[in-house]
A and B are shown apart, each in its own frame.
Chain A
Amino acid sequence: MSVPISSPATKSAAPGTIPPLFGLVLAGGRSTRMGRDKATLPYGDGTPQLERAVALLGRHAARVYVSVRRDQAADPLRARFAQIQDIHENIGPIAGLLAAQAQHPQSAWLVLACDLPLLDDASLAHLVSRRDAARTATAYRSSHDGLPEPLCAIYEPRSRESLSAWIGAGKECPRKFLSSADTALLDEPNPRALDNINTPTEYGAVTSAQTKRITVQYYALLREQAGRRDEALTTTAATPRELYAELAGRYPFSLAAEVLRVAINSEFGDWSAPLKDGDAVVFIPPVAGG
Protein backbone atom coordinates (compact mmCIF):
# COMPACT_ATOMS: atom_id res chain seq x y z
CA MET A 1 0.00 0.00 0.00
CA SER A 2 1.32 3.40 -0.84
CA VAL A 3 -0.59 5.24 1.86
CA PRO A 4 1.25 5.45 5.17
CA ILE A 5 -0.91 4.23 8.02
CA SER A 6 -0.43 6.06 11.28
CA SER A 7 -1.28 4.39 14.54
CA PRO A 8 -5.01 4.01 15.21
CA ALA A 9 -6.16 7.45 16.18
CA THR A 10 -7.48 7.88 19.66
CA LYS A 11 -6.41 11.49 19.92
CA SER A 12 -6.24 14.22 17.31
CA ALA A 13 -3.96 13.43 14.45
CA ALA A 14 -0.91 15.66 14.39
CA PRO A 15 -0.85 18.18 11.55
CA GLY A 16 0.58 16.67 8.40
CA THR A 17 -0.10 13.06 9.34
CA ILE A 18 -2.50 11.05 7.27
CA PRO A 19 -5.42 9.54 9.20
CA PRO A 20 -5.47 5.75 9.30
CA LEU A 21 -7.75 4.03 6.85
CA PHE A 22 -10.45 1.73 8.22
CA GLY A 23 -12.83 -0.31 6.11
CA LEU A 24 -16.61 -0.43 6.38
CA VAL A 25 -18.81 -2.87 4.47
CA LEU A 26 -22.38 -1.63 4.30
CA ALA A 27 -24.56 -4.64 5.07
CA GLY A 28 -27.55 -2.81 6.52
CA GLY A 29 -29.60 -2.69 3.34
CA ARG A 30 -33.00 -4.32 3.00
CA SER A 31 -32.33 -6.02 -0.38
CA THR A 32 -35.91 -5.22 -1.38
CA ARG A 33 -35.46 -5.56 -5.13
CA MET A 34 -33.35 -8.72 -4.80
CA GLY A 35 -35.92 -10.37 -2.57
CA ARG A 36 -33.00 -12.09 -0.80
CA ASP A 37 -30.35 -10.74 1.55
CA LYS A 38 -27.62 -9.47 -0.78
CA ALA A 39 -24.96 -10.02 1.88
CA THR A 40 -25.50 -13.77 1.77
CA LEU A 41 -25.56 -14.19 -2.02
CA PRO A 42 -22.82 -16.56 -3.15
CA TYR A 43 -20.45 -15.59 -5.94
CA GLY A 44 -17.36 -17.13 -7.50
CA ASP A 45 -16.44 -20.18 -5.45
CA GLY A 46 -19.67 -19.90 -3.45
CA THR A 47 -18.44 -17.47 -0.79
CA PRO A 48 -21.15 -15.07 0.46
CA GLN A 49 -20.65 -11.57 -0.90
CA LEU A 50 -20.29 -10.04 2.58
CA GLU A 51 -17.36 -12.35 3.33
CA ARG A 52 -15.78 -11.56 -0.03
CA ALA A 53 -16.13 -7.82 0.56
CA VAL A 54 -14.63 -8.05 4.07
CA ALA A 55 -11.68 -10.04 2.73
CA LEU A 56 -11.13 -7.58 -0.11
CA LEU A 57 -11.21 -4.58 2.21
CA GLY A 58 -8.93 -6.32 4.67
CA ARG A 59 -6.14 -6.14 2.12
CA HIS A 60 -6.33 -2.34 2.05
CA ALA A 61 -7.61 -1.16 5.42
CA ALA A 62 -6.05 -1.36 8.88
CA ARG A 63 -9.33 -2.69 10.34
CA VAL A 64 -12.59 -3.76 8.79
CA TYR A 65 -16.08 -3.42 10.24
CA VAL A 66 -19.47 -4.45 8.98
CA SER A 67 -22.21 -1.85 9.18
CA VAL A 68 -25.53 -3.33 10.33
CA ARG A 69 -28.93 -2.26 11.54
CA ARG A 70 -29.62 -3.11 15.17
CA ASP A 71 -32.05 -5.85 14.25
CA GLN A 72 -29.40 -7.54 12.06
CA ALA A 73 -26.69 -7.81 14.71
CA ALA A 74 -27.41 -11.46 15.55
CA ASP A 75 -27.62 -12.61 11.95
CA PRO A 76 -25.19 -15.57 11.75
CA LEU A 77 -23.26 -14.25 8.74
CA ARG A 78 -22.99 -10.69 10.06
CA ALA A 79 -22.14 -11.93 13.55
CA ARG A 80 -18.87 -13.37 12.23
CA PHE A 81 -17.41 -9.91 11.74
CA ALA A 82 -16.69 -6.83 13.84
CA GLN A 83 -19.86 -4.77 13.62
CA ILE A 84 -20.85 -1.15 13.89
CA GLN A 85 -24.56 -0.68 14.47
CA ASP A 86 -26.50 2.15 12.93
CA ILE A 87 -27.49 5.02 15.20
CA HIS A 88 -29.87 6.68 12.75
CA GLU A 89 -32.74 4.97 11.01
CA ASN A 90 -34.18 5.38 7.55
CA ILE A 91 -31.55 7.69 6.16
CA GLY A 92 -29.97 5.20 3.78
CA PRO A 93 -26.31 4.21 3.56
CA ILE A 94 -24.98 7.40 5.18
CA ALA A 95 -26.28 6.00 8.48
CA GLY A 96 -23.56 3.35 8.48
CA LEU A 97 -20.81 5.86 7.82
CA LEU A 98 -22.05 8.24 10.51
CA ALA A 99 -22.08 5.44 13.07
CA ALA A 100 -18.55 4.44 12.09
CA GLN A 101 -17.33 8.01 12.30
CA ALA A 102 -18.95 8.38 15.72
CA GLN A 103 -16.99 5.36 16.92
CA HIS A 104 -13.65 6.26 15.27
CA PRO A 105 -13.74 9.96 14.46
CA GLN A 106 -10.03 10.23 13.66
CA SER A 107 -10.04 7.54 11.01
CA ALA A 108 -10.76 7.78 7.36
CA TRP A 109 -13.29 5.22 6.13
CA LEU A 110 -13.10 3.18 2.99
CA VAL A 111 -16.78 2.45 2.52
CA LEU A 112 -17.91 -0.45 0.40
CA ALA A 113 -21.40 -1.56 -0.54
CA CYS A 114 -21.97 -5.29 -0.26
CA ASP A 115 -23.52 -5.64 -3.70
CA LEU A 116 -20.37 -5.10 -5.80
CA PRO A 117 -19.33 -8.66 -6.71
CA LEU A 118 -17.28 -7.53 -9.70
CA LEU A 119 -15.08 -5.19 -7.68
CA ASP A 120 -11.48 -6.32 -8.11
CA ASP A 121 -8.46 -5.91 -5.92
CA ALA A 122 -6.72 -3.68 -8.48
CA SER A 123 -9.59 -1.19 -8.50
CA LEU A 124 -9.53 -0.95 -4.73
CA ALA A 125 -5.73 -0.66 -4.69
CA HIS A 126 -5.95 2.17 -7.24
CA LEU A 127 -8.47 4.07 -5.11
CA VAL A 128 -6.31 3.71 -2.00
CA SER A 129 -3.11 4.69 -3.80
CA ARG A 130 -4.75 7.84 -5.19
CA ARG A 131 -6.37 8.79 -1.89
CA ASP A 132 -6.12 12.53 -1.28
CA ALA A 133 -6.30 12.96 2.49
CA ALA A 134 -6.38 16.73 2.13
CA ARG A 135 -9.79 16.54 0.44
CA THR A 136 -13.12 15.53 1.98
CA ALA A 137 -13.31 12.27 0.05
CA THR A 138 -11.73 10.24 -2.73
CA ALA A 139 -14.11 8.43 -5.07
CA TYR A 140 -14.48 6.96 -8.52
CA ARG A 141 -16.37 8.76 -11.23
CA SER A 142 -19.05 6.39 -12.55
CA SER A 143 -18.32 5.01 -16.00
CA HIS A 144 -22.10 5.11 -16.60
CA ASP A 145 -23.12 8.64 -15.68
CA GLY A 146 -19.96 10.50 -14.67
CA LEU A 147 -21.23 11.06 -11.10
CA PRO A 148 -19.26 10.07 -7.98
CA GLU A 149 -19.63 6.47 -6.80
CA PRO A 150 -20.34 6.93 -3.08
CA LEU A 151 -20.30 3.28 -2.01
CA CYS A 152 -16.73 2.48 -2.95
CA ALA A 153 -15.10 5.63 -1.68
CA ILE A 154 -12.81 6.98 1.01
CA TYR A 155 -14.26 9.51 3.45
CA GLU A 156 -11.73 11.53 5.42
CA PRO A 157 -12.43 12.45 9.07
CA ARG A 158 -13.21 16.01 7.96
CA SER A 159 -16.28 14.71 6.10
CA ARG A 160 -18.07 13.92 9.36
CA GLU A 161 -19.20 17.45 10.06
CA SER A 162 -20.53 18.10 6.58
CA LEU A 163 -22.23 14.67 6.45
CA SER A 164 -24.02 15.42 9.72
CA ALA A 165 -25.08 18.78 8.36
CA TRP A 166 -26.25 17.10 5.14
CA ILE A 167 -28.45 14.68 7.08
CA GLY A 168 -29.52 17.46 9.42
CA ALA A 169 -30.77 19.38 6.39
CA GLY A 170 -32.99 16.43 5.51
CA LYS A 171 -30.88 15.17 2.61
CA GLU A 172 -29.85 11.52 2.24
CA CYS A 173 -28.27 10.90 -1.12
CA PRO A 174 -24.56 10.11 -0.65
CA ARG A 175 -23.87 10.66 -4.34
CA LYS A 176 -25.18 14.21 -4.21
CA PHE A 177 -23.18 14.72 -1.04
CA LEU A 178 -19.94 13.78 -2.80
CA SER A 179 -20.86 15.97 -5.78
CA SER A 180 -21.32 18.95 -3.48
CA ALA A 181 -18.25 18.21 -1.36
CA ASP A 182 -14.55 18.64 -2.04
CA THR A 183 -14.15 15.17 -3.57
CA ALA A 184 -11.12 13.88 -5.46
CA LEU A 185 -12.58 12.00 -8.43
CA LEU A 186 -10.79 9.19 -10.26
CA ASP A 187 -11.54 7.36 -13.47
CA GLU A 188 -12.29 3.67 -13.03
CA PRO A 189 -9.51 1.36 -14.29
CA ASN A 190 -12.11 -1.38 -14.73
CA PRO A 191 -15.43 0.06 -15.95
CA ARG A 192 -17.45 -2.92 -14.70
CA ALA A 193 -15.89 -3.04 -11.23
CA LEU A 194 -18.62 -0.96 -9.62
CA ASP A 195 -21.66 -2.52 -11.29
CA ASN A 196 -23.99 -3.13 -8.40
CA ILE A 197 -26.20 -6.17 -8.46
CA ASN A 198 -29.70 -5.41 -7.24
CA THR A 199 -32.10 -7.81 -8.88
CA PRO A 200 -32.37 -11.56 -9.42
CA THR A 201 -31.88 -10.97 -13.15
CA GLU A 202 -28.64 -9.09 -12.61
CA TYR A 203 -27.50 -11.73 -10.14
CA GLY A 204 -28.26 -14.50 -12.63
CA ALA A 205 -26.30 -12.72 -15.36
CA VAL A 206 -23.22 -12.34 -13.16
CA THR A 207 -23.24 -15.86 -11.81
CA SER A 208 -23.90 -17.53 -15.15
CA ALA A 209 -21.00 -15.54 -16.62
CA GLN A 210 -18.90 -16.96 -13.79
CA THR A 211 -20.01 -20.53 -14.46
CA LYS A 212 -18.17 -22.51 -17.12
CA ARG A 213 -18.01 -26.04 -18.39
CA ILE A 214 -14.49 -27.40 -18.18
CA THR A 215 -13.04 -30.79 -18.96
CA VAL A 216 -10.18 -32.05 -16.85
CA GLN A 217 -7.86 -34.93 -17.71
CA TYR A 218 -5.85 -36.59 -14.99
CA TYR A 219 -2.49 -38.28 -15.41
CA ALA A 220 -0.21 -40.41 -13.29
CA LEU A 221 -0.45 -39.75 -9.54
CA LEU A 222 -3.34 -37.31 -9.97
CA ARG A 223 -5.24 -39.89 -12.06
CA GLU A 224 -4.86 -42.42 -9.28
CA GLN A 225 -5.85 -39.99 -6.57
CA ALA A 226 -8.85 -38.69 -8.51
CA GLY A 227 -9.82 -42.25 -9.37
CA ARG A 228 -10.59 -41.25 -12.95
CA ARG A 229 -8.92 -40.30 -16.22
CA ASP A 230 -11.12 -37.35 -17.05
CA GLU A 231 -14.31 -35.56 -16.21
CA ALA A 232 -16.50 -32.74 -17.44
CA LEU A 233 -17.52 -30.34 -14.74
CA THR A 234 -19.27 -27.05 -14.18
CA THR A 235 -17.32 -24.60 -12.09
CA THR A 236 -17.16 -20.98 -11.09
CA ALA A 237 -13.38 -21.17 -10.70
CA ALA A 238 -11.94 -18.15 -12.46
CA THR A 239 -8.45 -19.54 -13.00
CA PRO A 240 -6.66 -22.90 -13.10
CA ARG A 241 -5.35 -22.11 -9.62
CA GLU A 242 -8.89 -21.82 -8.28
CA LEU A 243 -9.95 -24.93 -10.17
CA TYR A 244 -7.11 -26.97 -8.66
CA ALA A 245 -8.05 -25.73 -5.19
CA GLU A 246 -11.66 -26.76 -5.84
CA LEU A 247 -10.62 -30.24 -7.04
CA ALA A 248 -8.17 -30.66 -4.18
CA GLY A 249 -11.17 -30.26 -1.89
CA ARG A 250 -12.89 -33.13 -3.65
CA TYR A 251 -10.00 -35.57 -4.15
CA PRO A 252 -7.14 -36.56 -1.86
CA PHE A 253 -4.46 -34.83 -3.95
CA SER A 254 -1.08 -34.94 -2.25
CA LEU A 255 0.65 -32.57 -4.67
CA ALA A 256 0.64 -28.84 -3.95
CA ALA A 257 -0.12 -26.57 -6.89
CA GLU A 258 3.43 -25.19 -6.57
CA VAL A 259 4.97 -28.41 -7.87
CA LEU A 260 2.54 -28.75 -10.77
CA ARG A 261 2.29 -27.09 -14.14
CA VAL A 262 -0.96 -26.53 -15.91
CA ALA A 263 -1.96 -27.07 -19.54
CA ILE A 264 -4.99 -25.50 -21.16
CA ASN A 265 -6.21 -26.91 -24.46
CA SER A 266 -3.04 -29.03 -24.83
CA GLU A 267 -0.59 -26.19 -24.37
CA PHE A 268 1.28 -25.06 -21.27
CA GLY A 269 -0.74 -22.34 -19.57
CA ASP A 270 -0.71 -19.80 -16.81
CA TRP A 271 -2.10 -20.57 -13.35
CA SER A 272 -3.77 -17.19 -13.20
CA ALA A 273 -5.08 -16.99 -16.75
CA PRO A 274 -8.86 -16.71 -16.94
CA LEU A 275 -10.61 -20.02 -17.59
CA LYS A 276 -13.06 -19.97 -20.50
CA ASP A 277 -16.15 -22.04 -21.13
CA GLY A 278 -15.12 -25.25 -22.91
CA ASP A 279 -11.47 -25.22 -21.84
CA ALA A 280 -9.69 -28.56 -21.43
CA VAL A 281 -7.39 -28.48 -18.41
CA VAL A 282 -4.60 -30.82 -17.40
CA PHE A 283 -2.63 -30.48 -14.19
CA ILE A 284 0.88 -31.75 -14.81
CA PRO A 285 2.66 -33.51 -11.96
CA PRO A 286 6.47 -33.39 -11.84
CA VAL A 287 7.61 -35.21 -14.97
CA ALA A 288 9.96 -38.19 -15.19
CA GLY A 289 10.59 -39.10 -18.81
CA GLY A 290 13.73 -40.83 -20.04
Chain B
Amino acid sequence: MSVFRFSHTPVETRALNAQLADPACGGYASFEGWVRDSNEGQHVRHLEYEAFEALAVREGERIIAEAIARFGVAHAACVHRVGDLKVGELAVWVGVSAPHRDEAFRACRYIIDEVKQRVPIWKKEHYASGDSGWVNCERCAAPDPGAEAAGAHAHHDRR
Protein backbone atom coordinates (compact mmCIF):
# COMPACT_ATOMS: atom_id res chain seq x y z
CA MET B 1 0.00 0.00 0.00
CA SER B 2 1.25 3.46 -0.85
CA VAL B 3 2.64 5.46 2.05
CA PHE B 4 0.42 8.31 0.89
CA ARG B 5 -3.09 7.66 -0.26
CA PHE B 6 -6.61 8.97 -0.41
CA SER B 7 -9.70 7.42 1.08
CA HIS B 8 -13.20 8.03 -0.20
CA THR B 9 -14.68 6.40 2.92
CA PRO B 10 -14.17 6.93 6.68
CA VAL B 11 -10.70 5.97 7.86
CA GLU B 12 -10.08 3.27 10.47
CA THR B 13 -6.83 4.25 12.17
CA ARG B 14 -6.16 0.99 14.05
CA ALA B 15 -5.37 -0.85 10.82
CA LEU B 16 -3.11 2.02 9.79
CA ASN B 17 -1.10 1.83 13.04
CA ALA B 18 -0.47 -1.84 12.43
CA GLN B 19 1.29 -1.20 9.16
CA LEU B 20 3.90 0.91 11.01
CA ALA B 21 4.66 -1.72 13.69
CA ASP B 22 8.32 -2.70 13.89
CA PRO B 23 10.23 -4.49 16.68
CA ALA B 24 13.06 -1.96 16.28
CA CYS B 25 10.71 0.93 16.99
CA GLY B 26 9.99 2.15 20.50
CA GLY B 27 8.16 5.30 19.47
CA TYR B 28 5.00 5.91 17.52
CA ALA B 29 3.52 9.34 16.89
CA SER B 30 0.42 10.20 14.98
CA PHE B 31 -1.58 13.24 14.01
CA GLU B 32 -5.26 13.29 13.19
CA GLY B 33 -6.97 16.27 11.63
CA TRP B 34 -10.72 16.42 12.39
CA VAL B 35 -13.44 18.52 10.86
CA ARG B 36 -14.04 21.49 13.13
CA ASP B 37 -17.40 23.24 13.42
CA SER B 38 -16.08 26.74 12.88
CA ASN B 39 -13.57 28.63 10.81
CA GLU B 40 -12.79 32.33 10.96
CA GLY B 41 -15.98 33.14 12.81
CA GLN B 42 -18.26 31.11 10.53
CA HIS B 43 -20.21 28.10 11.71
CA VAL B 44 -19.19 25.13 9.54
CA ARG B 45 -21.83 22.48 8.81
CA HIS B 46 -19.81 20.11 6.67
CA LEU B 47 -16.78 19.97 4.38
CA GLU B 48 -15.95 18.80 0.94
CA TYR B 49 -12.40 17.66 0.10
CA GLU B 50 -11.24 17.32 -3.48
CA ALA B 51 -7.80 16.25 -4.71
CA PHE B 52 -5.85 16.05 -7.92
CA GLU B 53 -4.98 12.53 -6.93
CA ALA B 54 -2.38 11.65 -9.57
CA LEU B 55 -0.11 14.52 -8.58
CA ALA B 56 -1.15 14.58 -4.93
CA VAL B 57 -0.02 11.00 -4.38
CA ARG B 58 3.35 11.73 -6.00
CA GLU B 59 3.86 14.86 -3.92
CA GLY B 60 2.66 13.11 -0.77
CA GLU B 61 5.08 10.23 -1.33
CA ARG B 62 7.90 12.74 -1.77
CA ILE B 63 7.00 14.35 1.57
CA ILE B 64 7.04 10.97 3.33
CA ALA B 65 10.42 10.12 1.78
CA GLU B 66 11.78 13.51 2.85
CA ALA B 67 10.59 12.95 6.43
CA ILE B 68 12.22 9.53 6.60
CA ALA B 69 15.51 10.83 5.18
CA ARG B 70 15.51 13.97 7.30
CA PHE B 71 14.57 12.59 10.69
CA GLY B 72 15.78 9.01 10.34
CA VAL B 73 12.44 7.48 11.28
CA ALA B 74 11.65 3.87 10.38
CA HIS B 75 8.20 4.17 8.81
CA ALA B 76 5.76 6.92 7.95
CA ALA B 77 2.43 7.09 6.19
CA CYS B 78 -0.41 9.50 5.53
CA VAL B 79 -4.05 9.03 4.54
CA HIS B 80 -6.23 11.94 3.46
CA ARG B 81 -9.99 11.88 3.04
CA VAL B 82 -11.79 13.13 -0.05
CA GLY B 83 -15.51 13.64 -0.50
CA ASP B 84 -18.12 14.96 1.93
CA LEU B 85 -17.19 15.02 5.62
CA LYS B 86 -19.28 15.83 8.67
CA VAL B 87 -18.09 17.76 11.72
CA GLY B 88 -15.94 15.49 13.90
CA GLU B 89 -14.90 13.16 11.10
CA LEU B 90 -11.25 12.38 10.52
CA ALA B 91 -9.90 14.35 7.56
CA VAL B 92 -6.25 13.39 7.64
CA TRP B 93 -4.10 10.87 9.48
CA VAL B 94 -0.30 10.85 9.76
CA GLY B 95 1.59 8.06 11.52
CA VAL B 96 5.30 7.65 12.15
CA SER B 97 7.26 4.92 13.93
CA ALA B 98 10.87 5.31 15.01
CA PRO B 99 13.37 3.88 17.52
CA HIS B 100 12.80 6.94 19.76
CA ARG B 101 9.97 9.43 20.30
CA ASP B 102 11.72 12.67 19.42
CA GLU B 103 12.27 11.92 15.74
CA ALA B 104 8.79 10.40 15.51
CA PHE B 105 7.18 13.63 16.77
CA ARG B 106 9.29 15.81 14.52
CA ALA B 107 8.69 13.73 11.39
CA CYS B 108 4.96 13.67 12.09
CA ARG B 109 4.88 17.46 12.40
CA TYR B 110 6.91 17.87 9.24
CA ILE B 111 4.59 15.65 7.22
CA ILE B 112 1.35 17.37 8.19
CA ASP B 113 2.86 20.84 7.68
CA GLU B 114 4.15 19.97 4.22
CA VAL B 115 0.96 18.18 3.19
CA LYS B 116 -1.12 21.25 4.04
CA GLN B 117 1.15 23.43 2.01
CA ARG B 118 2.19 21.43 -1.03
CA VAL B 119 -0.30 18.71 -1.87
CA PRO B 120 -3.07 19.60 -4.35
CA ILE B 121 -6.04 19.08 -2.06
CA TRP B 122 -8.84 21.58 -1.74
CA LYS B 123 -11.39 22.12 0.98
CA LYS B 124 -14.81 23.63 0.55
CA GLU B 125 -16.57 24.73 3.70
CA HIS B 126 -20.35 24.76 3.87
CA TYR B 127 -21.56 27.20 6.51
CA ALA B 128 -24.64 27.29 8.67
CA SER B 129 -25.54 30.54 6.92
CA GLY B 130 -25.99 28.61 3.68
CA ASP B 131 -22.84 30.11 2.17
CA SER B 132 -19.91 28.05 1.12
CA GLY B 133 -16.36 28.76 0.08
CA TRP B 134 -13.11 27.21 -1.06
CA VAL B 135 -10.56 27.76 1.69
CA ASN B 136 -7.61 29.97 0.63
CA CYS B 137 -9.24 30.68 -2.74
CA GLU B 138 -12.07 33.06 -2.16
CA ARG B 139 -10.00 35.88 -0.78
CA CYS B 140 -7.37 35.86 -3.49
CA ALA B 141 -9.92 36.54 -6.20
CA ALA B 142 -8.28 38.71 -8.82
CA PRO B 143 -10.75 41.59 -9.24
CA ASP B 144 -10.61 42.65 -5.61
CA PRO B 145 -7.19 44.27 -5.10
CA GLY B 146 -6.31 45.31 -1.61
CA ALA B 147 -8.65 42.86 0.05
CA GLU B 148 -5.92 40.35 0.70
CA ALA B 149 -2.74 41.77 -0.74
CA ALA B 150 -0.39 39.71 1.39
CA GLY B 151 -2.94 37.00 1.88
CA ALA B 152 -2.85 33.56 3.33
CA HIS B 153 -2.07 31.70 0.12
CA ALA B 154 -1.03 28.23 0.96
CA HIS B 155 1.41 28.17 -1.96
CA HIS B 156 3.44 31.05 -0.70
CA ASP B 157 3.24 31.11 3.05
CA ARG B 158 5.46 29.01 5.25
CA ARG B 159 3.15 28.79 8.17
Contact = CB atoms under 8 A, between A and B. Distances in A.
B156 to A, nearest CB: 8
A220 B123 CA distance: 8
B92 interface: yes
A259 to B, nearest CB: 5
B118 interface: yes
B58 A267 contact: yes
Contact of A268 (B55, B141, B154): B55
A261 interface: yes
A256 B144 CA distance: 11
A219 B142 contact: no
A254 B141 contact: yes
A254 B144 CA distance: 9
B55 A288 contact: no
Q: Sort chain A's interface into a size bin.
A: 20 to 34
Given A221-B134, A263-B55, A254 B122 contact: no
Contacts of A217: 52
Given A263-B52, A282-B55, A288 B140 contact: no
B141 A255 contact: yes
Contact of A220 (B59, B112, B124, B142): B124
B102 interface: no
A173 to B, nearest CB: 52
B54 to A, nearest CB: 4
A268 to B, nearest CB: 7
Contacts of B118: 287
A219 B122 contact: yes
Nearest to B118: A287
Given A263-B120, A287-B118, A287-B121, A282 B52 contact: yes
A290 B33 contact: yes
* B50, B137, B142 interface centre (most CB from chain A within 10 Å): B137
B142 A284 contact: no
Contacts of B143: 254
B115 A219 contact: no
A272 interface: no
A266 interface: yes
Given A255-B141, A267-B58, A284-B52, 18 more contacts: A221-B134, A253-B142, A255-B140, A261-B155, A263-B120, A284-B120, A285-B122, A285-B134, A285-B136, A285-B137, A287-B117, A287-B155, A288-B116, A288-B137, A289-B92, A289-B121, A290-B91, A290-B121
Interface of A: 217, 219-221, 223, 253-256, 259, 261, 263, 266-268, 282, 284-290
